[in-house]
Chain A
Amino acid sequence: MANRPDDNPDKFPALGRALMWVERPGGVEKIVYSLYVVCAGLFAADFLYHKHSYLAIEDFPGFYALYGFFMCAALVVCAKAMRLFLKRPEDFYAPKDVESEPFPEDQLERVDYDA
């Protein structure tokens, strides 16, 4: 997350400046570690209340947590493998496709903070 050399954060909106702490050293670590803590807490919560379940499998401690984690990991790994067969260059269907075309400039309103 490198800033541009000619960056002038003073011109950014106040809300954007306030959020820039995530880029300071350790900012990302703070988010990641809080996620770990929340996850640990939620896992532990399973032992602290009575679960109303429809299915037997739901009563397995941390079922939703484990299901979410492993299914998502499997999803990403499978999708990554799909790329081997399905990925094509951006202009594969050109010119009958919008993917490799620039978006028409007259329909945009580009304004750059540093310009």
Chain B
Amino acid sequence: MLETLPTAFLYLLAAPLLALLPRGALRAALLLVVPVLAALQVWSLPLGNLVQVEFFGLTLDLMRVDKLSRIFALIFCIAAFLGNLYAWHVKDVVQQAAALLYAGAAIGAVFAGDLVTLFFYWEGTAISSVFLIWARRTEGAFHTGMRYLIVQIGSGVILLAGVIVMYAETGSIAFERMELGSLATWLIFIAFGMKCAFPLLHNWLQDAYPAATVTGTVILSAFTTKLAVYSLARGFAGTEILIYIGAIMTLFPIFYAVIENDLRRVLAYSLNNQLGFMVVGIGIGTELALNGTAAHAFAHILYKALLFMSVGAVLFRTGTAKGSELGGLYKTMPLTMIFCVIGAASISAFPLFSGFVTKSLILSAAAKEHYYIIWGILLFASAGVFHHSGIKIPYFAFFAHDSGKRPKEAPWNMLLAMGLASFLCIAVGVYPAPLYALLPFEVDYDSYTTTHVITQLQLLFFSALAFTVLMRTGIYPPELKSVNLDTDWTYRRLLPRLIGWIAGPVGAMFWGLDNAKGAWLQGLIVRLYHAYGPQGRTSQFWPTGAMVLWIAVLLGVALMVSYVS
């Protein structure tokens, strides 16, 4: 039975079951069982188009299983499991159902063999995930969720438009590799780009992810953007413009990350930067590069979730995730600190940690294809990500100046989730062969060469040296209670202001016109009333008898005329 049921349906069918189960362990257990079952199913499925349905004359492919979709579906199952374990203590059924539906929609989208199915699940991820933000239940979270929803639904609508134009032009809805050039492919490209947080389309990510609940952010971090990476890898592999878009994506978020105070937003910026590496890999489009993108997405989901979990645990125990408010927590939350450092080492690509064996595939591909400037940018971004995610996050949360906060260690379920994620990060780094075996293409690559290990260590330790020197000389910018303007300023401030400015004069004009029209109409009515009203001039001295008299006169005239003629 499991072979004929699309994996996504496992999640979607389990969500209503949640409401039937009593709140507590049973319900939390269901949230763990579903990803395990789904992962087992994905693991055992044969490759091929397994499930097809007819829909309004179109044939929809619900289960296209190949090596590319399988690795993304597997890591989504792992991320759902870890996220739900981390959220074991949550009693809020809205968040639990949203987590299941969201993961299910993301997996459904990954297995979609046609663009219509992709569209349905694409919108599914948008609608289900916003509840993880709204579940914070504050005014700010409501508005942030609304902004997030508008962007996500907007992406879906643009995707739909692209699909319709494509169907009209080619008669096909197959989700295969596309060539940029027609209106349809550009629309689809932009829809993917919005979800993938391309530069200037990125700000929904940094706006929304820090606004979600403690556990919601962990779940959000895994799916939406990596679904977009998968879609780009499927649809636009080898599209050169992606190399430059990706390079910019790796570059600008690291500057913001250095001055950002909210540590969960720092992580959102570094998430954006990591997506850039994957997008560059897609743009290069060689087998090595695409392997790099898939492998990096796999490793990234694990260490990014781990980092969000550790900062989330700090938030859970102290009520804040701001660098300016934290510090010195290592004394009472040492395990969380160690897990955070493991995540930091993984994202920074230290040897023996997961980032090292995955990011290097992309960098090598860039150098091999002679994109030297891009290679230089990626190298800079690698050093930068160590700087802000690798050092800044653990340093300001757990060390730096003592905040005087003495929170208790994170609860067992959070520690277990972080421990498992840490284990996977190290396992992938130490023994990458099983991950390499899952990649879409044959891997002939050894990341543990003397040159690679030493050069990487040089890069990282000298970045740490730069941090130390800047910190000790007082040049390093302190964490300040503040927000930084980003592109969201255009639609949160500039546009409303512009509309305000335009609305003033235009409104006054309409108001004036309206008034003038009203006055004129009023005058007309008064004049008519004066002339024809009950007391009006035309109504005076006109008894009914006068009309009878005049009719008699008229009839008399008519009679005389008829006699005469």
Show the binding face of A for B, using Cβ within 8 Å: 1-4, 7, 9, 12-13, 15-17, 19-20, 22, 32, 35-36, 38-39, 42-43, 45-46, 49, 51-55, 58, 62-73, 75-80, 82-83, 85-90, 92-105, 107-114
- Decide: B334 and A13 in contact? CB cutoff 8 A: yes
**CB-defined contacts of B472 to chain A, threshold 8 Å:** 32
**CB-defined contacts of A35 to chain B, threshold 8 Å:** 461, 464-465, 468
- Decide: B483 and A62 in contact? CB cutoff 8 A: no
| Other-chain residue from B387, B401, B459 in contact with A64 (beta carbon distance below 8 A) | B459
- Decide: A39 and B402 in contact? CB cutoff 8 A: no
**CB-defined contacts of A43 to chain B, threshold 8 Å:** 458
**CB-defined contacts of B214 to chain A, threshold 8 Å:** 107-108
Most chain A C-beta atoms within 10 Å of own C-beta, residue among B372, B462, B484: B462
Q: A35-B464, A67-B383 are in contact. Are A49 and B450 (CB under 8 A)?
A: yes
**CB-defined contacts of A104 to chain B, threshold 8 Å:** 136-138
- Decide: B387 and A95 in contact? CB cutoff 8 A: no
CA distance A113 to B258 in the complex (A): 31
Chain A's closest residue to B92 (CB) is A107
**CB-defined contacts of B234 to chain A, threshold 8 Å:** none
In B296-347, the 8 Å CB interface with A consists of 315-320, 328, 330-335
Q: A54-B367, A80-B477 are in contact. Are A109 and B317 (CB under 8 A)?
A: yes
CA distance A112 to B408 in the complex (A): 6
In B354-399, the 8 Å CB interface with A consists of 364, 367-368, 372, 375, 379-380, 383-384, 387, 399
B481 interfacial by beta-carbon distance below 8 Å: yes
B49 interfacial by beta-carbon distance below 8 Å: no
**CB-defined contacts of B470 to chain A, threshold 8 Å:** 73, 76
| 16 new A-B contacts at CB < 8 Å, known A98-B136, A101-B138 | A1-B401, A15-B335, A68-B462, A77-B475, A79-B255, A83-B259, A83-B477, A97-B143, A97-B144, A98-B140, A99-B262, A101-B139, A101-B140, A110-B318, A111-B317, A113-B408
CA distance A51 to B318 in the complex (A): 48
CA distance A105 to B139 in the complex (A): 15
B449 interfacial by beta-carbon distance below 8 Å: yes
Least CB distance from B500 to A in Å reads 15
**CB-defined contacts of A63 to chain B, threshold 8 Å:** 455
Q: A32-B472, A99-B483 are in contact. Are A66 and B332 (CB under 8 A)?
A: no
**CB-defined contacts of B7 to chain A, threshold 8 Å:** none
CA distance A82 to B98 in the complex (A): 38
Q: A42-B458, A67-B383, A104-B138 are in contact. Are A75 and B407 (CB under 8 A)?
A: no
B351 interfacial by beta-carbon distance below 8 Å: no
CA distance A12 to B317 in the complex (A): 15
- Decide: A1 and B328 in contact? CB cutoff 8 A: yes
Least CB distance from B458 to A in Å reads 4
Most chain B C-beta atoms within 10 Å of own C-beta, residue among A2, A42, A71, A95: A71
**CB-defined contacts of B546 to chain A, threshold 8 Å:** none
- Decide: A68 and B459 in contact? CB cutoff 8 A: yes
- Decide: B368 and A54 in contact? CB cutoff 8 A: yes
Which secondary structure dominates where chain B touches chain A? helix
Least CB distance from B470 to A in Å reads 5
Most chain A C-beta atoms within 10 Å of own C-beta, residue among B144, B375, B463: B463
- Decide: A111 and B407 in contact? CB cutoff 8 A: yes
CA distance A92 to B254 in the complex (A): 22
- Decide: A75 and B384 in contact? CB cutoff 8 A: yes
Q: A46-B458, A88-B485, A109-B317 are in contact. Are A68 and B383 (CB under 8 A)?
A: yes
**CB-defined contacts of A64 to chain B, threshold 8 Å:** 379, 455-456, 458-459, 462
Nearest 10 CB-CB pairings of A with B: A111-B408, A79-B258, A98-B140, A96-B143, A68-B462, A72-B466, A15-B334, A113-B406, A64-B458, A54-B367
Between-chain CB contacts (< 8 Å), 8 pairs: A39-B461, A46-B458, A71-B380, A71-B383, A76-B467, A88-B483, A89-B482, A113-B332
Chain A's closest residue to B366 (CB) is A54
Most chain A C-beta atoms within 10 Å of own C-beta, residue among B317, B480, B484: B484
Least CB distance from A44 to B in Å reads 11
- Decide: A19 and B330 in contact? CB cutoff 8 A: yes
Q: A87-B482, A96-B143, A99-B140 are in contact. Are A76 and B333 (CB under 8 A)?
A: no
Least CB distance from A67 to B in Å reads 7
Chain B's closest residue to A72 (CB) is B466
Least CB distance from A8 to B in Å reads 9
- Decide: B387 and A75 in contact? CB cutoff 8 A: yes
In B124-175, the 8 Å CB interface with A consists of 136-141, 143-144
Least CB distance from B143 to A in Å reads 4
**CB-defined contacts of B383 to chain A, threshold 8 Å:** 67-68, 71-72, 75
**CB-defined contacts of A38 to chain B, threshold 8 Å:** 461
| Other-chain residue from B140, B331, B469 in contact with A12 (beta carbon distance below 8 A) | B331
CA distance A2 to B331 in the complex (A): 13
- Decide: A98 and B144 in contact? CB cutoff 8 A: yes
